[in-house]
Amino acid sequence: MDVISVIRTKRDRGELSPEQIDWVIDAYTRGVVADEQMSALAMAILLNGMNRTEIARWTAAMIASGERMNFDALSRPTADKHSTGGVGDKITLPLAPLVAACGAAVPQLSGRGLGHTGGTLDKLESIPGWRALLSNEEMLNVLDTTGAVICAAGDGLAPADKKLYALRDVTGTVEAIPLIASSIMSKKIAEGTGSLVLDVKVGTGAFMKTIEDARELASTMVALGTDSGVKTVALLTDMSTPLGLTAGNALEVRESVEVLAGGGPKDVVDLTLALAREMLDAAGIKDADPEKALADGSAMDVWRRMIAAQGGDPDATLPVAREQHVVTAPASGVLTRLDAYDIGVAAWRLGAGRARKEDPVQAGAGVELHAKPGDTVTAGQPLLTLHTDTPEKFEYALQTLGGSYDIAPAGTSFTANPIVLDRIA
């Protein structure tokens, strides 16, 4: 077996054999296949796709590259959630402690930013002392004592995916549906959770731009999970506009704490509650009320214990960017569009994301929104505030924001998309 023949098979729109898939995943994990060769194969997959048989085998090979975890010793049923990535998508932060406060155990293995989308681990690392890297023993201990853990997948869990995940981010192959599905599901199946809720984003700020592509991805992942014995359901959710009022690491942590304190933007609260109800139902917990757990402070209590258990200080002051630049509304009227992709790219350019897999991120960088579609704005009022430690980045970020919003005349009617567009089970 050689990697060139594997690349050529997919380049020429052929079907990869089980033997080719098993070999190339194993060889890449061991370093026999170089990054540039795997990036060529990833691009061929992006352009020419994979059928269901190939995706299932690719996922199985990713799982087989490492270990599998088991949570049978826990006294609670396990439920996990995964988002395909969006702008301002801080939902994991309030969701994990909320579901734990309602009686489930939430082993949340999360990732870092991909392209214009933010990463949960990058956000949480803005909390002083917080650690993303835990051993399996530490992870189980945090999960057992607090009910929730948010951490990076260990080196032993689908190591092939860890390498490929970082490579996709810097080679323009993030959007490949087979690679998204296998990346997500290999980790989730190997993780050993009993049930899984998928948040598949749809819109300009998502990797899936159309509802048809989102349904294809969701159906593929639901099938992979179900066939592996994991109760799996997917919600298709809107990502045409950023979630909440912030896009950036520390900015989103602050907003998440507001949600846990009983406040926060309505769209963030609504989606958090919708996903919480799905997770609790999948875990077989029927009598819990997540809305009550937000209101009475029990979800906040779990958050504080979870952060502290991973070395973080829940009372610490979060980083603030050294420089700000305000973008004002050019006219009065109704804001009818605020493009999620453009906001995500601006946040990335300000330092909230990375251009190379080894790049650091700025904890305080990002974009703060002062209005959402449907709001009335007045000429000259703040529309966006850009945050960065490196003011020379402002001009670069502003280049993507010139056409990112529309303001219609006062009195123009506006109907927002529902936050949940569809459900696939």
Q: Which helix (H) or strand (E) holds 202?
A: strand 195-202
State the catalytic residue, choosing from 90, 116, 168, 305: 168
Residues contacting 345, CB < 8 A, separation 6+: 116, 400
For every residue of 269-305, DSSP letters joined together read HHHHHHHHHHHHHHTT--S--HHHHHHTSHHHHHHHH
Q: What is the DSSP string of 343-404?
A: HHHHHIIIIIS-SSTT----TT-EEEES--TT-EE-TTSEEEEEEES-TTHHHHHHTTTTTS
Among residues 83, 126, 182, 183, the one annotated as catalytic is 183
Is 82 one of the catalytic residues? yes
Catalytic residue among 81, 82, 231, 387: 82
Has 182 been annotated as catalytic? no
The residue annotated as part of the active site, out of 22, 80, 89, 161, is 161
How many other CB atoms are there within 10 angstroms of residue 35's CB atom?
A: 16
Q: Are 11 and 48 in contact (CB under 8 A)?
A: yes
| Residue 122, C-beta contacts closer than 8 angstroms, at least 6 positions apart | 112, 113, 249, 352, 353, 361
Tokens 């007045």, located at residue: 378
Give the pair of three-digit tokens for residue 124: 């949480």
Does 161 participate in catalysis according to the annotation?
yes
Catalytic: 325? no
Q: Cα separation of 85 and 192, whole Å?
A: 22
**CA–CA dist 207, 204 (Å, integer):** 8
422 CB burial (10 A radius; 0-12, 13-18, 19+) = middle
Candidates 12, 4, 421, 14; CA nearest to 239 is: 421
- Catalytic-residue membership of 387: no
Angle subtended by helix axes 52-64 and 18-30, to nearest 10: 40
Which of these, 187, 130, 65, lies nearest to 314 by C-alpha position? 130
Query: Active-site residues: which are they?
Result: 82, 161, 168, 183, 187
